[in-house]
Structure 1
Amino acid sequence: MPSAREAHLRHATHYEAVLRKASELYGQGGEILTRGLVMFDLEWSNIQAGQAWAAGHASQDDIVAKLCSAYADAGVRLLELRQHPREWIDWLEAAIAATQRLNDLAAEAKHLGNLGTAYWSLSESRRAIELYEQCLTIQRKAGDRRGEGNALVGLGLAYSKLGESNRAIEFYEQSLTIFREIGDRRGEKIALGNLGWAYIALGAPRRAIEFCEQALDIDREIGDRRAESQDLGVLGAAYYELGQPRRAIEFYEQQLAIAREIGDQRGMSSALGDLGGAYIGLGEPRRAIEFCEQALSIDREIGDRWGEGIGLGNLGLAYADLGETHHAIEFYEQQLAIVREIGDRQSKGNALGNLGLAYADLGETLRAIEFYEQQMVIVREIGNRLGEANALMNTGNAYGILDQPSRAVEFYKQSLLVFREIGDRRSEGLALFNMSKVVDRLGGRAEAIVHICAALDVLEELKDPNTDKVREQLAEWRGQTNEG
């Protein structure tokens, strides 16, 4: 009859193998992916029990230490998908202690990288960077090119979440070079998809689409459903930034369907939040609120502070669109508190800009300018060109309200330069329209008509809902000119 230790070891060893097999099936994609998820869900309590025993006894001998380390490595993608990040952190910290006992640097490096990802998912980006850098140092010393590429992607993700998109792009480009050199298609598409996100953050959606379409082709080629869902979301975001919310919704709905199919809660939250944002853009705030509240509920359930901040911001936008400005400010202030706490500078800039818009809507224009100026400092520091252009245009709007048209024109011209540089046609059209009205107030009717005609050309091409308003203003000015 086996001893208690032998029985526990046999049980834990068996369920580590089950976890590894489920992960292998999941990694094959397609219909087999679902078999992996079913196996994992069916045996999850046994897997947890096996890992808990191994973690609790890893300090006693090398055999159990190896098993403890193996649990954290056996099903990384499934654990990231199904397990709460705090529990995953516990597994990984136990595994790192085990690898240090074994002096297994290669396994320790993997666990450090995954621990970075767990902290990144909790928006603890500075801690994630420390861990990715430790991982990168070990991988480079060991000459592990795949591990080096993965660590570089992790650093890109962490800096991207901090709003430092240019720095993130540097890491993604380094990783992409490595993955292509070694023929790692999975790593290649991860780098491509993340480059797409980074270029959206920098206000370059057309460039983002190029990267995302390449990533999506590889996702489908290798059957990676979760990555396919994520890259569909990036494509949706890119088309939304191009002023095409209905096309964006098509991509978000595909993203949501896949996330639900594979039980990816974070993916579901992302898709629901993006759908909410798209319906705000379509002028359907009540429908947007339904999606945003569902997303916020998931984020709070899984402890995703970054997602919670975005969800609160989206709810603020929806209530602002309903004309409930004080309610919107409450959500923006909650968002601002969270993003300050987690160090998310990108979202901090967004929250400050939205607070500025809200106070402008309440007629508190000077207070609005204070928020735009704070936003401007952040977006310029992190290289967010789209955020910079929006802050410049909104400041121009504010000075127009304060009856300082010359100052307003200065800001509009600066914003136009940036919108044209990054290819944001819709915002270019709106900036031209706003500037035309201010130039007209300065007595430059002929110049104002030149600007409004340019605005009309852009907005008509995009079938923008503001087109009729611009056309009516142009007709009014031309009628007045003819009467004169």
Structure 2
Amino acid sequence: MKRKDSSPGQMLPMFPLKKWQHSQKQHPYTFYIFLFACLLMPATANAADITEQLHYPKQQAVSQDGRNEADSLMGIAERQLQQKTPEKAVTSLLQALELYHSISDLRAQGLAYDLLGKAYVELGQFKDAEDAIRRRLAVARDTQDFRGQVFALNNVGSLLLQKGEALAARESFAEAVGIASQIKNSEAQGLSLSNLGLATARLGDYNKAIKLYETALIYRRIVGDPIAEGNTYNNLGEAYLAMGDYQNTIGTFGYGLRLATRTRDRMNEFRAIDGLVAAHSSVGRKERASELLSQRLTLARQLGNIPEELTTFEAYALLYEKQGNYRTARNFYERAIVLSRTLEDNKKEVQLVDKLTQMLKK
């Protein structure tokens, strides 16, 4: 997956198979991370295990027509992912893998596993996604594809974080850092260090995480990827916020917001605003926090993003509730509840009603 670090991890662009070798050089990310949005989702594994689904022919040769069919299936799977039909992409990719396994084409298998992992993540089937990504990692090791190993290890770590296994994720990211350093790939080093910082922060060692983020930023500036740089700035801001260092929190998120706005990276734009609202609220700058929430609401409405609009109303409600302005807070809670019903999000509706009820008891 491409873009955004596991923080909330980067997906491989969709190209016909014969163009993949060139695209790998230009776009090395797989589908990490995803994954900030994916990291917040509960892990599910409704599909059968990949091992049970794949049936590899025993013959060691296949006709040219068979290879052409496999390549065609890869192209079909790419289009299906672009069309937001990952369940169909899984079917196409499993068929392609049978053919690639029959001719022992490891490189093509690796590319297929990349896409298969992406498809399973989009389906929310993280157990199957992890299986596919680990198979991708095995292929990269068998072929001594060190660059492929780095990005596969980052994807494995991202999924481990999603499962709450921060210690195992840190080990995966640390291995990726080691390989990236050996091959002296700045892009891979920046990604791996940023993710290692994320896992380290999840384990509560914020000072070490900050140092890792700062080193990651050096490599991300070398590469000249402002989206990746902005993501790491947001990670760094969250570490400062967890430590209660509000001055550095505001400066870091402020820079992250400028980068996200310039690159139209909306997810990180929302993240940066949320970090700034939390920091300004913590130091008593309620008016500035309200201004930022107004900016957030405008952005959500411009994008037609109802879930983010709901989140903004809830943030407004919490802000006014902390100020003791219960009348205004109630208004925002009620507006958030209306949107939760529009989205048919029953769980969120119950949470909001409970918060409103608790506030009215004060």
Matches for 1:45-194 after TM superposition, within 5 Å? 150=19, 154=23, 157=26, 186=71, 189=74, 193=78
Instruction: Provide Cα deviations, 1:166-186, integer angstroms capped at 9, x if missing partner.
Output: xxxxxxxxxxxxxxxxx9984
Instruction: Provide Cα deviations, 1:277-302, integer angstroms capped at 9, x if missing partner.
Output: 23334443223212222332333344
The 1:255–1:280 alpha-carbon spacing in structure 2 relative to 1, beyond 3 Å, is: closer
Task: Please report how far the alpha carbon of residue 255 of structure 1 lies from its aligned counterpart in structure 2 after TM superposition.
Answer: 1.9
Instruction: Provide Cα deviations, 1:288-345, integer angstroms capped at 9, x if missing partner.
Output: 2122223323333444332222121112112222221111101101100111122222
Q: Percent identity?
A: 19
The 1:211–1:350 alpha-carbon spacing in structure 2 relative to 1, beyond 3 Å, is: same
- RMSD of aligned residue pairs (Cα, Å): 4.3
Structure 2 CA distance for aligned equivalents of residues 418 and 152 of structure 1:
38
Q: Which amino acid aligns with 2:231?
A: N
- Tell me whether 435-444 or 406-415 shows the greater mean CA deviation: 406-415
Q: Match of 1:279, SS?
A: helix
Q: 1:477 and 2:359 equivalent?
A: yes
Structure 2 CA distance for aligned equivalents of residues 311 and 212 of structure 1:
30
Structure 1 CA distance for aligned equivalents of residues 320 and 120 of structure 2:
36
Paired residue for 2:292, among 411, 427, 433?
411
Structure 1 CA distance for aligned equivalents of residues 91 and 25 of structure 2:
19
Q: TM-score, normalised by structure 2?
A: 0.64
Instruction: Provide Cα deviations, 1:193-238, integer angstroms capped at 9, x if missing partner.
Output: 4996xxxxxxxxxx67447954872674363412211113333554
Paired residue for 1:338, among 199, 219, 222?
219
Task: Tell me if the contact between 1:453 and 1:474 (Cα under 8 Å) persists in the aligned partners.
Answer: no
Q: Match of 1:446, SS?
A: helix
Task: Tell me if the contact between 1:275 and 1:288 (Cα under 8 Å) persists in the aligned partners.
Answer: yes
2:332 corresponding residue in structure 1:
448
Q: TM-score, normalised by structure 1?
A: 0.50
Q: 1:231 and 2:137 equivalent?
A: no
Paired residue for 2:138, among 254, 257, 260?
260
Task: Tell me if the contact between 2:137 and 2:148 (Cα under 8 Å) persists in the aligned partners.
Answer: yes
The 1:252–1:159 alpha-carbon spacing in structure 2 relative to 1, beyond 3 Å, is: closer
Q: 1:250 and 2:125 equivalent?
A: no
Instruction: Provide Cα deviations, 1:378-436, integer angstroms capped at 9, x if missing partner.
Output: 222223222222222222222222323343233234335545737594x6665443332
Structure 1 CA distance for aligned equivalents of residues 304 and 120 of structure 2:
18
Task: Tell me if the contact between 1:285 and 1:321 (Cα under 8 Å) persists in the aligned partners.
Answer: yes
In proportion to residue count, which structure has more helix? 1
Q: 1:388 and 2:269 equivalent?
A: yes
Task: Please report how far the alpha carbon of residue 461 of structure 1 lies from its aligned counterpart in structure 2 after TM superposition.
Answer: 4.1
Q: Which amino acid aligns with 1:319?
A: T
Q: Match of 2:284, SS?
A: coil
- Tell me whether 332-341 or 299-308 shows the greater mean CA deviation: 299-308
Q: Match of 1:323, SS?
A: coil
1:352 corresponding residue in structure 2:
233
Q: 1:217 and 2:80 equivalent?
A: no
Q: Which amino acid aligns with 1:366?
A: Q
Q: Which amino acid aligns with 2:129?
A: F
The 1:439–1:331 alpha-carbon spacing in structure 2 relative to 1, beyond 3 Å, is: same
Paired residue for 2:170, among 289, 292, 305?
289
The 1:286–1:471 alpha-carbon spacing in structure 2 relative to 1, beyond 3 Å, is: farther
Q: 1:366 and 2:247 equivalent?
A: yes
Structure 2 CA distance for aligned equivalents of residues 341 and 254 of structure 1:
31
The 1:331–1:429 alpha-carbon spacing in structure 2 relative to 1, beyond 3 Å, is: farther
The 1:194–1:226 alpha-carbon spacing in structure 2 relative to 1, beyond 3 Å, is: farther
* Equivalences, count: 294
The 1:416–1:233 alpha-carbon spacing in structure 2 relative to 1, beyond 3 Å, is: farther
Paired residue for 1:324, among 201, 205, 220?
205
Structure 1 CA distance for aligned equivalents of residues 166 and 267 of structure 2:
23
Structure 1 CA distance for aligned equivalents of residues 25 and 242 of structure 2:
37
Structure 1 CA distance for aligned equivalents of residues 168 and 29 of structure 2:
30
Instruction: Provide Cα deviations, 1:42-97, integer angstroms capped at 9, x if missing partner.
Output: xxxxxxxxxxxxxxxxxxxxxxxxxxxxxxxxxxxxxxxxxxxxxxxxxxxxxxxx
Task: Tell me if the contact between 2:316 and 2:329 (Cα under 8 Å) persists in the aligned partners.
Answer: no
Task: Tell me if the contact between 2:110 and 2:139 (Cα under 8 Å) persists in the aligned partners.
Answer: no
Structure 2: any 5+ residue segments left out of the alignment? Answer: 1-15, 31-67, 101-107
Structure 1: any 5+ residue segments left out of the alignment? Answer: 1-145, 162-182, 197-206
Bigger Rg, which one: 1
Consecutive aligned runs of 4 or more in structure 1 exceeding 6 Å deviation: 455-460
- Tell me whether 307-316 or 332-341 shows the greater mean CA deviation: 307-316
Q: Which amino acid aligns with 1:284?
A: E
